[in-house]
């Protein structure tokens, strides 16, 4: 049985193809301004990796903010549903899922059976999601991939006052002018965003194991801040940004 999951994120589009529970192809594309085209491209990439044709896929489930625009799709699930399902498959002991993407942060609490018990969202404000770190990397003039390793070099904790991505950019510029070491600023940025994700986790009453997914999970500085604030170890899967699409593909298979 072959199924596909497509995660129509605001910034990137992910496709995972499953055959009898095994991932046989996956692909990611920047959403850009033509998300439909990008989705088709991502699909083509995953099909090629799997060495199959579109017609071989029995069912496709879409998730993500733009799931209404997904091509080749028979069925949709919410991000909460697909995240929880994907994480459950990878880590049966997970009870809390944190998903931090470009434009949204999410905390999901699941039962011992893997059912969604509660969830909370940060949405529509860049300060609560990956877009915040992107703005700050611009203000710091440090590429986003280097922001994490840079902040790990810091052992000073300085506060950030601004709670808005726009005002925080000015604050970062002021700190740079005041000759504050860049690694300390980077850490302050990660502490700031982590504190907002922690509040979501608290809201859903987080329990271990805690699994972090979404593109921002690649940011080691953010993970460090998050672990410090939550006072717990966090599990990060190998391909954190594909977990939603993976969950959707599993849900597609279960529906058959």
172 CB-near residues (< 8 Å, 6+ apart):
136, 139, 140, 185, 189
Contact 171, 160 (CB under 8 A): yes
Among 141, 166, 202, 255, binds ligand SF4 (CB under 6 A): 166
131 contributes a contact to other proteins by CB under 8 A: yes
Choose which of 16, 28, 172, 204 interacts with other proteins (CB under 8 A). Answer: 204
Cβ-based nearer residue to ligand SF4, 125 or 152: 125
- Residue with smaller CB distance to ligand SF4, 162 or 176: 162
Residues 19-48 that bind ligand SF4 (CB under 6 A): none
User: Nearest-5° angle of CA 79, CA 119, CA 29?
Assistant: 25
Q: Are strands 22-30 and 12-19 parallel, antiparallel or unpaired?
A: antiparallel
- Which residue among 51, 92, 167, 255 contacts other proteins (CB under 8 A)? 167
Which one, 16 or 129, has the nearer CB to other proteins? 129
DSSP code of 160? Answer: -
CA distance 217 to 214: 6
Q: Which is nearer to other proteins, 1 or 166 (CB)?
A: 166
Check residue 199 for interaction with other proteins (CB under 8 A). yes
Q: Provide the terminal-to-terminal Cα distance of the chain, rounded to the nearest Å.
A: 9
Q: Which residues bind ligand SF4 (CB under 6 A)?
A: 125-127, 164-166
């Amino acid at each position: 049985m072959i199924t596909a999951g497509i995660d129509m994120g605001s910034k990137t589009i992910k496709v995972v193809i499953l055959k009898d529970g095994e991932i046989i192809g996956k692909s990611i594309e920047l959403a850009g301004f033509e998300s439909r085209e990008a989705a088709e491209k991502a699909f083509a990439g995953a099909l090629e990796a799997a060495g199959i044709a579109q017609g071989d896929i029995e069912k496709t489930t879409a998730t993500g903010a733009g799931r209404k625009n997904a091509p080749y799709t028979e069925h949709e699930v919410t991000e909460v549903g697909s995240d929880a399902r994907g994480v459950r498959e990878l880590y049966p002991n997970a009870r809390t899922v944190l998903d931090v993407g470009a434009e949204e942060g999410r905390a999901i609490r699941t039962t011992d059976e893997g059912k969604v018990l509660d969830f909370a969202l940060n949405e529509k404000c860049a300060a609560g999601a990956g877009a915040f770190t992107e703005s700050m990397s611009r203000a710091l003039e440090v590429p986003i991939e280097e922001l994490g390793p840079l902040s790990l070099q810091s052992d000073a904790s300085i506060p950030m006052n601004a709670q808005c991505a726009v005002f925080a950019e000015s604050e970062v510029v002021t700190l740079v002018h005041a000759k504050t070491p860049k690694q300390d600023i980077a850490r302050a940025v990660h502490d700031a965003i982590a504190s907002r994700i922690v509040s979501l986790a608290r809201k859903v009453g987080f329990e271990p194991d805690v699994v972090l997914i979404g593109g921002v999970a690649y940011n080691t500085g953010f993970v460090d801040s998050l672990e410090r604030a939550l006072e717990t170890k966090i599990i990060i899967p190998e391909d954190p940004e594909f977990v939603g699409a993976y969950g959707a593909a599993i849900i597609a298979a279960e529906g058959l």
